[in-house]
Structure formats: structure tokens, C-alpha cells
Amino acid sequence: MYKIEQIPIKKIGKVVTGKTPSTTDIKNFGGEYMFVTPVELHADFIINESQKTLSRKGLDSIKANSIHGLSIAVGCIGWDMGNVAIIESECATNQQINSITDIKPEYNPYYLYYWLLTKKQYLFQIATVTRTPILNKTTFEDILVPMPEKSIQDKIVSLLLPISKKIALNNAINAELEKMARTLYDYWFVQFDFPNAEGKPYRVSGGEMVYSEQLKHEIPKGWKVEKLNQNDICSIIGSGIENFDGEKIYLSTSEVDSLDIVNHTVFIDYNNRPDRANMQPRLNSVWFAKMKDTGKNILVNDGAEILTTNYIFSTGFSGLQCLETTLYYVWNYLRGGYFDKKKNLVATGATQQAINDNDLSCFDIVVSPEPVLERFHIIVSPYYNRISRMKFENKELATLRDFLLPLLMNGQITVLSNTIAMPENTGNGTDNTTSGMDAQAKKTAVFKRLVLSAYILDNICDEPTAGRVKFEKLLYLSEHCAQLPLYSEFHRAAAGPYDSKALYAIEDKLKKENWFKRQKIKDESRAYIRMAQADGYKSYIDSNLDARQKSVIDNLVRLFKSLRTIQCEIVATLYGAWNDFLIDGVQPTDDQIVDEVLTNWHESKERIDRQRWLKALGWMRQNGVVPTGYGVSTKNS
């Protein structure tokens, strides 16, 4: 045990109760400063953005009620009582939040945050209760916090903070991946600018459209409008579960908040379970809460396969069994505005309004030809599988944090070290380097890279722009987008990611196999030509590239085949810089990615205008060329 002093909050820092600027002056709002409300206290432990914002004028109008520097925000009214978050910037909150700011140097702000995190029930107990519980500023200021000496505070924080940061990073990456997949969905299935046979956006390139009487607008020729309860891409999952031994986790609609499972602690057995515990999760299925005004959804994909073995769902959910290639299309359909609006219109009931399976006959769904759905699935499936895996990783991290938190705060365990074991490579959890490889594994990787190289060259070498740089960049992007274990070591070079050792070895081996060889002809941009046995690599394709990997590579080749060399350089460089951030455990902004390229990559990058780099990031998202933290950092090679 260590010495503890009981310190009132008002002696730890300054307590500020928030205030709302005058709403009659619209110039007070819509600026660069956050206006934090209880809604933001439900998000990550550090608040970086808010739904509402203030102008400088608006912030100055409530200056005495604003906060700056590292502050702790605590919900002090209603059911948001005791929700806690950290704010690092100058901003303001509304009057439902008390904040502790100007925290004295002898106290670690994060220690105070973690202590308050355990006191939600206590804050309810000391609140004034009429119809709505309220914790006033005076009572809040007088709360006694058990404070050990600063060195102990710091050590406790050093154990807990990495867990919180990893959870927050995973959430940020998930939000970005979900956003990118949604952008692609809107681009393909709302705007109808999916790639045509030439790889160009269908609608804006003059693709034929036909009028749909059901939808009252045009859709691409060859597409169909079907009903959600009877179509070619999904089917309704009926009630009833399989018998099971032991216990499973019961998931009611109250355990789900939007897309996240927030409670995994209700266990049931087969013979003693609630009547509503009667829905069987299945792989490649999507679920939605039936009740009106409840945007709650669950995705059961490869990354969340644990749901099929360890969980039972409530009959408050309805499920759709999808084909593997239609899963993410149907998921995005459910997440779109149309589905929720229609559900609210159709819902019926005297006390709780909801829809039933028969009501799904009222929902129209557009069905595109299978190749379009399959291509969309191939692009976005790595995003969604990673999202699911990181959600369950966060569950384990939160369990660890919640186990340690009361023990550390109560002094029940002695802090002897200020370290905690955390995943080393937060980008993908694997060490994709040649270290530790046995000879056979290395030989397999080298040959797989050779087959990939031949496959790329066979598809691009007749193009006028098929130079050596384009080939290098397609090799880099193929390895990382298709997540091929090739163990390359690309580094930062003038024209983007470059593995010179691998490239020379590939060219030498391609020539020895009599497949392709490099050519050097004046005024000729094409860098490679076919040799007599150019088709020889084809017999090795199926044993080295699975269907998913091949489809990802085909999409890259289609996108880059006719692009100029500088365009390939821009995309590969941005991908490399972005991927390096993810490997380092950082979800970057677009400006951070471009800054990294312009300042830390190679001086030659400065010749390209900043707006061009930013525009290319938008193109990458629209076409699904987005990193996931796979591979080795180009900074370390």
C-alpha cells in the first residue's frame, strides 16, 4: 500500500460549469471551436470533435465558462451523469457538464480521469434528485479524491493509458474504414458510377440508364428492383436456435448501441433462457433492431465469426442471410437513410412500434449484376473484417482495463513497474519481415512474388505507359492491398516505395524463366517485353494467388493500366505514407499524410502541388485503394 491523501476536486483544479452562448446570434456558432454536449461524452476517452461548434465570437461571449488545456469533462445531469471524457483543446461545454481545468502540476489529469471513471454510481447517489438527478457545482467541487503521491499516479496512468489509447485508435481506424466503404457504396450504388468495362465511371461516362417505376428514378440498364423479403441476394432468417451445451452470451437490443455491442455479460444456457433468446446468428448475415427509431445493426462476417458460436440474439432483432458476395452491399443498404425512414413509416404497435418479417415486402432493394456485387465485396471485405476483429480486440482491452482500474485505484495491487504488455505492431498484429523465416518459407515467398510479377506484366506490358516505375508501384500496391506474404522491404525513394534488391532479382529470374525481359530502347517508354515462354507462369497462378487476391490485383491493374507514371507514383507514395501511420498506431488526417510525403519522404515530392496530393487521396477512397496497416513500414526498411 502507499500513502493516500483525500483531496477535494476544487483543490486539484478549477471547476467550470458550461454555458450556451446566445442562440439568437447565429454568428456565435459554426466556427473552429468545439461545443461539447453530453452526446460527446459517449464517444472515445479523448474528445476531438463535436456535433456543434462555436466561432471565436461565441467562445469569447462565454469566456468565464470556457476551458483550455487538458481538462476533464463530467456529465452532471440526467442519465449522462458520471460519463467522463478528456478534452485537450480550448473549447466550451453546455451547462449539463462540469469540467476540471487548470489542473495543478502535482496531480496527473489522467489519474483523475480514471478515478472518476469508476464513480458513476457514486455521483448518482450524491446528486439532488427531483424528476431528474442533478449534481450541482458546489457538491461536485467538494468530492474527495484519494490521491497518492505523483510518482504513483504516473505509474498507474502508465498502465492504463496505453489501453485507452489503443481502444481509441482502433475506433478511429474503424470509423475511417467504415467511411471509406460507405463512400464507395454511394459512388457505385447511389450515383451509379461503378467501373464500366473500360474502368470508367458508368453513369458519367454515358452508361445507359432506364426508368424504374417502383423507385421513380433511373437505374443502370440490366439492374433489377426487388423486395427485401424476396430477392436473389438475401433471405429472412427465421426464429429458432440450435441446442447447445454450457453457456452463451445473450444479446438483446439494449446491449447494442448503433453498430457496437456494449455489453457482453448476460449469459444463458439452453434450458433456462428468456423466451426472446431465440435467434441464431449465422455467418454472412446482417441484423437490425425491429423497433421504430432504433438504428441498431450487427454484422456477422469472418472477422466476427465468434458471434455464431458464442452468442444468441434476441427476437427483437431481424436477420438477413446473405450470399458471401452480397453481404456488404446489404449491410450498407441497411445503414443507408432509406431503410430507417421506411422502417419508421411501416412500424406498428400500440405501445412499442416495430416491424415484422412480413413488413419487409414493403422495402425495395436494387440488385445489380453479380460481377458488380462481387467486385465491391472484394474491395471492401478486408475493411469490414478488420473492423470486426478490432471491435472484439477492444472488448478484450476494455475487460482488462476494467479489471485493473478498481484494483489500482483502491491500492489493492502494488505498482512496481510502469509498463504493460501491448501489441507491438498495431497496424496488423503480424511481423511481415524476413526475420525468422526458414529457407523454405523464403523460397515460397520469392516464387510467389515472381508469379505475381509475371501476372502484372502480362496485363500491362503492351501499354505505352508501362515503364519500370509503374511496374514497381503495382508490385507494391498488389502485395499490400491483397495482403500477400511476400516479405518485401520497400523503402522511401524518389518515385515512391522501392525495393531495389527484390526488383533486380525479379528481373533476373523472369529472364531466366524465359517469361519476360527488360528492354531499353530510345524513345520507348515500355520497359518489358514478352519472351518465348511468356505463358509459362500461368500454370502457377492458382497455387500462388487465391480468388480474392487475384480479384484485388485485377482491380489494381484495371485502375492503373492506362494511368501515367506520375499518377502511379502519387498513389503509391500516398499509400505508403498512410500505411506507415497505421503501422505506427496512428489514424492520420489527409493533411498529415500529405505533410509526411512532402517533408519526410523525398525532396522530389515537392515538385507536385499539394492540392494534387489531396485530390489523389479522394480518388483512392473512391476506388478502394486504401491501406490497412499491412506489411513493413517504409521508414524502417
For residue 434, pLDDT over 90 is answered with no
Mean pLDDT, residues 189-207 taken together: 91
- Do the beta carbons of residue 64 and residue 103 sit within 8 Å? no
For residue 430, pLDDT over 90 is answered with no
Task: Name the H helices within 517-631.
Answer: 541-544, 547-560, 565-583, 590-600, 610-622
- Do the beta carbons of residue 578 and residue 481 sit within 8 Å? no
Q: Exposure pattern of 289-299 as b/e (b: 16+ CB <10 Å)?
A: bbbbebebbbb
Lowest mean pLDDT among 72-76, 338-342, 473-477, 546-550: 546-550
Q: What is the DSSP string of 302-324?
A: GGGTHHHHHEEEETTEEEEEE-T
- pLDDT for the residue 411: 74
- pLDDT for the residue 353: 94
- Please calculate the CA angle 314-318-324 and round it to the nearest 5 degrees: 115
* DSSP tag of 187: I
- pLDDT for the residue 264: 80
Pick the CATH number of 182-377 from 3.40.50.1100, 1.10.10.10, 3.90.220.20, 3.40.50.300: 3.90.220.20
Round to whole Å and give the CA distance between 171 and 154. 25
- C-alpha cell recorded at residue 485: 506474404
- Do the beta carbons of residue 335 and residue 416 sit within 8 Å? no
Question: 408 or 2: which carries more pLDDT confidence?
Answer: 408
Packing angle of the helix pair 590-600, 565-583 (nearest 10 deg): 110
% of the chain at pLDDT higher than 70: 95
- Does the fold of domain 182-377 match that of domain 5-148? yes
* Element containing residue 329 per DSSP (H, E): helix 327-335
Mean pLDDT, residues 449-455 taken together: 96
Report residue 615 CA to chain centroid gap: 21
- pLDDT for the residue 408: 87
- pLDDT for the residue 1: 60
Mean pLDDT, residues 144-153 taken together: 93
Mean pLDDT, residues 9-29 taken together: 96
236 forms bridges with which residues in the sheet? 320
pLDDT classification of 431: cutoffs 50, 70, 90:
very low
* Element containing residue 341 per DSSP (H, E): helix 337-346
Tens-digit pLDDT profile for residues 339-385 = 999 999 999 998 889 999 999 999 999 999 999 999 999 889 888 98
Mean pLDDT, residues 481-504 taken together: 90
Is 5-148 in CATH node 3.40.50.1820?
Answer: no
- pLDDT for the residue 112: 96
Mean pLDDT, residues 246-269 taken together: 88
For residue 73, pLDDT over 50 is answered with yes
Tens-digit pLDDT profile for residues 77-103 = 987 789 999 999 999 999 999 999 999
Taken in order 82, 85, 87, 91, is the CA torsion positive or negative?
negative
Lowest mean pLDDT among 49-58, 386-395, 435-444: 435-444
% of the chain at pLDDT higher than 90: 68
- pLDDT for the residue 420: 41
For residue 217, pLDDT over 90 is answered with yes
pLDDT classification of 422: cutoffs 50, 70, 90:
very low
For residue 220, pLDDT over 70 is answered with yes
- Name the residue among 1, 5, 8 with its Cα closest to residue 148: 5
- Do the beta carbons of residue 310 and residue 251 sit within 8 Å? no
C-alpha pair distances (Å), 419 with each of 107, 157, 324, 407, 584: 20, 10, 43, 16, 18
- Please calculate the CA angle 372-376-379 and round it to the nearest 5 degrees: 140
* DSSP tag of 584: T
Q: How high does pLDDT run on average in the chain?
A: 90
Mean pLDDT, residues 135-163 taken together: 93
pLDDT classification of 423: cutoffs 50, 70, 90:
very low
Lowest mean pLDDT among 407-416, 472-481, 563-572, 574-583: 407-416
- pLDDT for the residue 426: 40
- Cell 468495362 appears where? 197
- pLDDT for the residue 523: 65
Largest CA distance in the chain: 88
- pLDDT for the residue 474: 95
- pLDDT for the residue 258: 80
- pLDDT for the residue 259: 83
Residues 6+ apart with CB under 8 A from 383: 177, 178, 180, 181, 626, 628
Which of 282-285's residues contact partners 24+ apart within 8 Å by CB, and which partners? 282/237, 282/308, 282/319, 282/321, 283/308, 284/321, 284/322, 284/323, 284/324, 284/327, 285/237, 285/319, 285/320, 285/321, 285/322, 285/327
pLDDT classification of 548: cutoffs 50, 70, 90:
confident
- pLDDT for the residue 28: 96
Mean pLDDT, residues 310-334 taken together: 96
- pLDDT for the residue 382: 86
Tens-digit pLDDT profile for residues 505-528 = 999 999 999 999 998 877 667 899
- pLDDT for the residue 421: 40
pLDDT classification of 574: cutoffs 50, 70, 90:
very high
- pLDDT for the residue 3: 83
Mean pLDDT, residues 445-471 taken together: 93
- Do the beta carbons of residue 222 and residue 369 sit within 8 Å? yes
Round to whole Å and give the CA distance between 176 and 621. 10
Mean pLDDT, residues 25-33 taken together: 95
Tens-digit pLDDT profile for residues 283-306 = 999 999 999 998 899 999 998 999
Mean pLDDT, residues 231-247 taken together: 95
- pLDDT for the residue 630: 86
Residues 6+ apart with CB under 8 A from 580: 596, 633, 634, 635
Packing angle of the helix pair 109-117, 150-185 (nearest 10 deg): 70
- Name the residue among 386, 406, 393 with its Cα closest to residue 627: 386
- pLDDT for the residue 415: 67
- pLDDT for the residue 416: 58
Mean pLDDT, residues 132-159 taken together: 93
Question: What are the residue boundaries of the structural domains of the chain, listed by start?
Answer: 5-148, 182-377, 439-622
pLDDT classification of 210: cutoffs 50, 70, 90:
very high
